[in-house]
């Protein structure tokens, strides 16, 4: 069974078929993720001003008296909460479709398998955070050590935007969107292993599809609430739009323009 996107059909169907508790749980989880993310970002000290007129995110730095293990755990916790807040608006439709495919099973089993699929999805994103953190720390350390590298960051940021915008315009991006939207909701024999595998598959597909946006978020400032909000809206819009390829390409044009502007500013400031 493929998912219905864009016109709200899946949401209305889920609401009418008694899935109100599931939808309410998704909404509460989303709101909790947003609240914790805002609180976490607000409690963090401001970033470090760097040569070249940009600010390094504190996500890549240790707090005073904090071990590297503690810093990594703090980052990973922030990353998980952030991805819950950012991805759940579009993931909800996927999980709702999966839950509907389990019709006929006891309610408790349906809820458990759906939760397990969601856990598998966010496990993939957790692994992404595990991979991103050491890279960010290493790059941040290099930027503080070498002045020339630090000064080149605004230009490099513009180039990342250009690359992300180009990816948004490709057939590869359109295919990834298609995979995310049309992946079958469930298998023939529901089980815990199948639910976990389904969640992992969703996570891999989603991480590939959103790679341009996450790249933009990382270079724009991982603790920047405005950047998080814009990326969340963009991901949700292109995933739920009735014309996803058109939405992705329109976003790509905007990203290209933002990248060109960032490069022009970096060149003038050099």
- If pLDDT is split at 50, 70 and 90, which confidence band does 141 have? confident
* DSSP summary character for residue 187: -
How many CA atoms are closer than 13 Å to the CA of 151, on its beta-carbon side?
7
Q: Is the pLDDT of residue 15 over 60?
A: no
Treating both helix axes as pointing N-terminal to C-terminal, what angle do 107-145 and 211-220 enclose, rounded to 10 degrees? 50
- 30: its two tokens: 């989303």
Domain range annotation of the chain: 9-269
Q: What percent of the chain has pLDDT over 70?
A: 89
- If pLDDT is split at 50, 70 and 90, which confidence band does 5 have? very low
CA angle (237 as vertex; 231, 241 as ends), nearest 5: 160
* 104 three-state secondary structure: coil
Neighbours of 263 (CB within 10 A): 18
Rounded Cα distance between 12 and 149, Å, is: 52
Calculate the CA 39 to chain-centre distance: 19
Give yes or no for a contact between 5 and 240, defined as CB atoms under 8 angstroms apart: yes
Calculate mean pLDDT across residues 51-57: 74
Identify the pLDDT of residue 12.
52
269 or 50, greater pLDDT: 269
* Per-residue pLDDT tens over the stretch 110-137: 999 999 999 999 999 999 999 999 998 8
Nearest to 184 by CA among 117, 124, 130: 117
> Burial level of 237, CB count in 10 A (0-12/13-18/19+)?
middle
Calculate mean pLDDT across residues 138-150: 87
Identify the pLDDT of residue 2.
38
Range with the poorest average pLDDT among 64-68, 74-78, 257-261: 64-68
Calculate mean pLDDT across residues 37-49: 76
Distances (CA, A) of 66 to 23, 63, 75, 256: 39, 5, 12, 39
Rounded Cα distance between 208 and 185, Å, is: 19
Q: Is the pLDDT of residue 159 over 90?
A: yes
- 125: its two tokens: 């994103």
* Per-residue pLDDT tens over the stretch 186-239: 555 788 999 999 999 999 999 999 999 999 998 887 778 888 999 999 999 998
* 50 three-state secondary structure: strand
Give yes or no for a contact between 155 and 263, defined as CB atoms under 8 angstroms apart: yes
Residues in the chain: 270
C-alpha dihedral sign at 186, 171, 238, 168? positive
Nearest to 262 by CA among 143, 154, 166, 167: 154
Identify the pLDDT of residue 46.
63
- If pLDDT is split at 50, 70 and 90, which confidence band does 18 have? low
Identify the pLDDT of residue 6.
45
Rounded Cα distance between 75 and 64, Å, is: 15
Identify the pLDDT of residue 104.
83
- 140: its two tokens: 């941040």
Range with the poorest average pLDDT among 21-30, 47-56, 100-109, 256-265: 47-56
């Amino acid at each position: 069974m493929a998912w219905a996107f864009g016109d709200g059909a899946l949401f209305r169907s889920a609401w009418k078929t008694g899935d109100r508790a599931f939808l309410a749980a998704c909404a509460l989880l989303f709101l909790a993720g947003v609240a914790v993310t805002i609180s976490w970002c607000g409690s963090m000290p401001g970033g470090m001003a760097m040569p070249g007129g940009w600010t390094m995110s504190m996500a890549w730095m240790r707090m005073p008296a904090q071990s590297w293990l503690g810093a990594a755990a703090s980052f990973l916790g922030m990353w998980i909460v952030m991805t819950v807040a950012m991805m759940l608006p579009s993931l909800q439709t996927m999980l709702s479709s999966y839950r509907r495919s389990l019709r006929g099973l006891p309610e408790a089993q349906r809820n458990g398998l759906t939760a397990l699929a969601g856990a598998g999805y966010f496990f993939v994103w957790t692994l992404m955070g595990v991979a991103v953190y050491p890279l960010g720390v290493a790059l941040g350390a290099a930027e503080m050590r070498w002045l020339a590298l630090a000064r080149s960051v605004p230009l490099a940021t513009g180039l990342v935007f250009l690359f992300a915008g180009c990816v948004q315009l490709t057939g590869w991006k359109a295919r990834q969107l298609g995979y995310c939207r049309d992946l079958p909701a469930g298998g023939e024999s529901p089980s815990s292993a199948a639910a976990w595998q389904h969640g992992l598959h969703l996570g891999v597909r989603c991480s590939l599809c959103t790679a341009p946006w996450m790249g933009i978020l990382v270079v724009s400032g991982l603790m920047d609430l405005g950047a998080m909000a814009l990326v969340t809206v963009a991901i949700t819009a292109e995933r739920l739009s009735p014309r996803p390829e058109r939405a992705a390409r329109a976003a790509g044009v905007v990203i290209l323009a933002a990248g060109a502007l960032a490069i022009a500013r970096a060149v003038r400031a050099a």
